């Protein structure tokens, strides 16, 4: 990665350690008077401040139109004030972001994964171009977290992530039950199959999201936040402190104290983003029943930090780590419930004591992960959110890496154990999710026959952007169709559950075997042997592929067209710089 000119660590000025090692290049001396003029205009008050104070970029993925992100500007302001109190200068800036729930229309969802890389690009750009000495990033929605961490791995200046926090749970008076974002999709499925009324659906929709915060189950945002906390890149408790709690504001202040420690001790992202910390991230993802998107994002983060994590590492970890957390989407509880029993510090303390998580890794506090968690309350034996190791929900991880003649380059399955371990069914093939949704709306999926619904041309290039198939999986749940499995070269939302396999590589658009799967072929998904295959011989697949022609790309201009040309496959994180 590009090493920028900076004053060497350890340099002293007037007997004090120089902390503004990057910004000094423009704020000291008279080589760049124009830069200094601009900085005075932007708020620097004195020459002393100009010359001595470290400048910290405060990057929030703020925008108004999404509960996951709408409060992040205020968190950024609190960080800026904290920086000033602690003798630093904070520069707030924003990146773009998209709401995975709002992009859910097929067109919008094509931009979701791409937003991860734009977030990384924009934070990297501002940090490096503006000579920031450090960075505090404040993400909220799914792709925000990996985007922020990828940027940190690129600029490698002292950095801390503050997660925006989870939303409160909602409640539907009509249905007399707690509701959340995935209840909306399931209620839609229930409406389609006549199980609830339109008024019931409307009540669910109106009460599912009662304020700011990321989706509150162990969906992608919380999966990434808990894993990143286990990597030591946040303050203890960041991932489970609710969005609206006063503790979230206090965290913003504490983060500014911690960033000073990072500057003083020269703790940089690449000191923390290591093979060891990725092991912790993978373990926590399995324990918590996290989203399949974690596979894609960890691979992308690892690539950005020049590490060699592979898709097979997930299977290795999944084989030895149980699934313990009874959290939504397949469990009972929300992350706000987890916060009440001690939150992530208590979970990490438990996992460190059980030797499942490495407590010796360094963190942004300047202490080890173990030291950070020591004072957290131990998990109460009476709680049932995190099961004991002696009574797991599943004795191995729920994420399986499948391979076979349908996915020679790999696929990612989420099998919690509730769905069974092997599924065999007749393929029903759809080119894109809308075709499948239309088929469901026509009531074409038979409840009395095992069916493997295949949604293809939804990969990184074909989608483009690997759109999530949340709607389909949730509608199937809501409709009560339990005898179906869903496979795709696209992705699933962290809120998806059921017998689902995504990230199939190679994708259909580039001539993967999925492109020649036909209605009626028998597909076998075996989560014990980690295989996904169709009952079609290699010769027949080769012959079908001979007469197959790639469909035209869906976009030829604009940001997605650039994306299509650059994006790599899902088994390598769907990154844009795989050269």
* Distance between CA atoms of residues 519 and 133, nearest Å: 57
362-399 residues labelled b (16+ CB within 10 A) or e (exposed)? bbbbebbbbebbeebeebeeebebbbeeeebbbebbbb
Q: Of 134 and 334, which has the nearer Cβ to ligand FES?
A: 334
Intra-chain end-to-end CA distance of the chain, in Å: 13
Residue 119 near residue 78, CB atoms below 8 Å: no
Minimum CB separation of residue 142 from ligand FES in Å reads 5
Minimum Å gap between C-beta 353 and ligand FES is 30
CB of 386 to ligand FES, least distance (A): 22
Active site residue 60: no
SS3 of the chain: helix, strand, coil, percent, to 5: 40, 15, 45
Nearer to ligand FES, 141 or 500 (CB): 141
- For residues 54 and 91, is the Cβ–Cβ distance under 8 A? no
Query: Could you say which residues in the range 140-159 bind ligand FES, by CB under 6 A?
Result: 141-142
Q: For ligand FES, which is the closer residue by CB, 88 or 218? A: 218
**Interface with ligand FES includes 241 (CB under 6 A)?**
no
Query: Which one of residues 59, 70, 101, 294 is an interface residue with ligand FES (CB under 6 A)?
Result: 101
Q: Are 572 and 578 in contact (CB under 8 A)?
A: yes
Give the count of residues interacting with ligand FES (CB under 6 A): 10
Segment interacting with ligand FES (CB under 6 A) among 97-105, 118-126, 190-198, 362-370: 97-105
Task: Determine the Cα–Cα distance for residues 263 and 291; give it in Å rounded to an integer.
Answer: 33
CB 472 within 8 A of CB 192: no
Our measurement of the distance from residue 190's CA atom to the centroid of its chain's CA atoms, rounded to an integer in Å, reads: 28
Q: Which 8-state DSSP code applies to residue 513? A: G
Span near ligand FES by CB under 6 A; candidates 43-51, 95-103, 396-404, 557-565:
95-103
- Mapped onto helix, strand or coil, the DSSP state of residue 336 is helix
User: Is residue 112 a contact partner of residue 103, using CB atoms and an 8 Å limit?
Assistant: yes
User: According to CB under 6 A, which residues from 449 to 488 bind ligand FES?
Assistant: none
Q: Does 228 bind ligand FES (CB under 6 A)?
A: no
Burial zone of 213 (CB within 10 Å; 0-12 exposed, 13-18 middle, 19+ buried): buried
Question: Which residue lies nearer to ligand FES by CB, 215 or 475?
Answer: 215
Report in angstroms how near the CB of residue 177 gets to ligand FES at its nearest.
20
99 sits near ligand FES (criterion: CB under 6 A): yes
CB atoms near residue 98 (< 10 Å):
26
- Of 156 and 469, the one with the shorter C-beta distance to ligand FES is 469
Report the residue number, 27 or 222, with the smaller CB distance to ligand FES: 222
Nearer to ligand FES, 97 or 269 (CB): 97
Smallest gap from residue 112 Cβ to ligand FES (A): 9
Which among 103, 108, 99, 137 has a CA at the least distance from the CA of 120? Answer: 137
Q: At its nearest, how many Å lie between ligand FES and the CB of residue 261?
A: 30
Which residue shows structure tokens 């690997």?
466
Give the residue, chosen from 49, 100, 251, 569, that forms a contact with ligand FES under the rule CB under 6 A: 100
**62 to 91, contacts with ligand FES by CB under 6 A?**
68
Rounded CA separation 8/15 (Å): 15
Separation in Å, CA 91 to CA 39, 131, 132, 146? 10, 11, 9, 22
Give the closest residue to 338 by CA, choosing from 296, 371, 380. 380
Closer to ligand FES by Cβ: residue 23 or 69: 69
Catalytic residue among 493, 496, 533, 571: 493
Q: Restricting to residues 165-224, name those near ligand FES by CB under 6 A.
A: 214-215, 219, 221
Nearer to ligand FES, 82 or 140 (CB): 140
Task: Specify the pairing of strand 484-488 against strand 499-505.
Answer: parallel
Question: In whole angstroms, how close is the CB of 183 to ligand FES at the nearest point?
Answer: 13
- Assess contact for 458 and 490: CB atoms under 8 A: yes
Minimum gap (Å) between residue 466 Cβ and ligand FES:
16
Cβ proximity of 385 and 333 under 8 Å: yes
Q: What CA–CA distance (Å, rounded) separates 514 from 496?
A: 21
Minimum CB distance to ligand FES, residue 102 (Å): 7
- To ligand FES, the closest distance from the beta carbon of 433 in angstroms equals 17
DSSP symbols for 55-106: EEEEEE---SS-TTTTTHHHHHHHHHHHHHHTT-EEEEEE-----TTGGGSH
Residue 277 or 496 having the CB closest to ligand FES: 496
What residues act catalytically?
A: 493
Question: Which residues of this protein are in contact with ligand FES, per CB under 6 A?
Answer: 68, 99-101, 141-142, 214-215, 219, 221
């Amino acid at each position: 990665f590009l090493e920028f000119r900076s004053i060497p660590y350890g340099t002293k000025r007037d007997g004090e350690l120089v902390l503004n090692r990057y910004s000094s290049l423009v704020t000291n001396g008279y080589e760049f008077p124009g830069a200094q003029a601009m900085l005075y205009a932007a708020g620097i008050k004195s020459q002393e401040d100009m010359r001595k104070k470290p400048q910290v970029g405060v990057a929030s993925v703020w925008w108004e139109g999404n509960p996951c992100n709408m409060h992040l500007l205020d968190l950024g302001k609190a960080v800026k004030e904290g920086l000033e109190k602690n003798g630093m200068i904070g520069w707030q800036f924003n990146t773009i972001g998209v709401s995975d729930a709002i992009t859910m229309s097929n067109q919008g969802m094509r931009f979701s994964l791409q937003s991860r890389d734009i977030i990384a690009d924009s934070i990297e750009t501002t940090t490096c171009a503006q000579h920031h000495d450090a960075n505090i990033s404040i993400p909220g929605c799914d792709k925000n977290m990996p985007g922020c961490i990828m940027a940190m791995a690129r600029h490698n200046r002292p950095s801390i992530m503050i997660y925006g926090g989870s939303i409160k749970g909602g409640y539907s008076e009509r249905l007399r039950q707690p509701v959340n974002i995935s209840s909306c999709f399931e209620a839609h499925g229930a409406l389609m199959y006549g199980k609830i009324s339109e008024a019931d659906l409307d009540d669910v929709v109106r009460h599912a999201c009662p304020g700011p915060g990321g989706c509150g189950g162990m969906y992608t945002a919380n999966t990434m936040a808990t894993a990143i906390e286990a990597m030591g890149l946040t303050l203890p408790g960041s991932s489970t402190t609710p969005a609206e709690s006063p503790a979230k504001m206090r965290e913003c202040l504490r983060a500014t104290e911690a960033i000073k420690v990072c500057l003083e001790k020269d703790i940089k992202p690449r000191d923390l983003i290591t093979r060891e910390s990725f092991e912790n991230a993978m373990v926590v993802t399995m324990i918590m029943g996290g989203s399949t998107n974690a596979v894609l994002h960890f691979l992308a983060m690892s690539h950005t930090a020049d590490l060699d994590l592979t898709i097979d590492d997930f299977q290795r970890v999944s084989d030895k780590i149980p699934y313990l957390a009874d959290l939504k989407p397949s469990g009972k509880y929300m992350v706000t419930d987890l916060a009440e029993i001690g939150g992530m510090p208590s979970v990490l303390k438990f996992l460190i004591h059980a030797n499942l998580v490495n407590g010796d890794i360094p963190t942004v506090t300047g202490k080890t992960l173990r030291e950070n968690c020591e004072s957290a309350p131990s998990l109460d034996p009476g709680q049932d959110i995190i099961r004991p190791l002696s009574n797991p929900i599943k004795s191995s991880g729920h994420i399986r890496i499948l391979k076979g003649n349908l996915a020679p380059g790999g696929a990612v399955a989420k099998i919690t154990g509730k769905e069974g371990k092997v599924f065999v069914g007749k393929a029903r093939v759809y080119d894109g999710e809308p075709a499948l949704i239309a088929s469901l709306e026509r009531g074409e999926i038979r409840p009395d026959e095992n069916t493997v619904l295949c949604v293809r041309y939804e990969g990184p290039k074909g989608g483009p952007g690997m759109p999530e198939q949340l709607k389909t999986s949730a509608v199937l749940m809501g409709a009560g169709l339990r005898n179906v499995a869903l496979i795709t070269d696209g992705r699933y939302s962290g809120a998806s559950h059921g017998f689902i396999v995504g990230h199939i590589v190679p994708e259909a658009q580039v001539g993967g075997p999925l492109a020649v799967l036909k209605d009626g072929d028998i597909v076998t998904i075996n989560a014990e042997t980690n295989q996904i295959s169709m009952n079609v011989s290699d010769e027949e697949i080769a012959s079908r592929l001979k007469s197959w022609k790639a469909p035209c790309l869906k976009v030829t201009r604009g940001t997605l067209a650039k994306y299509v040309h650059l994006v790599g496959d899902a088994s390598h994180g769907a990154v844009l710089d795989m050269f």
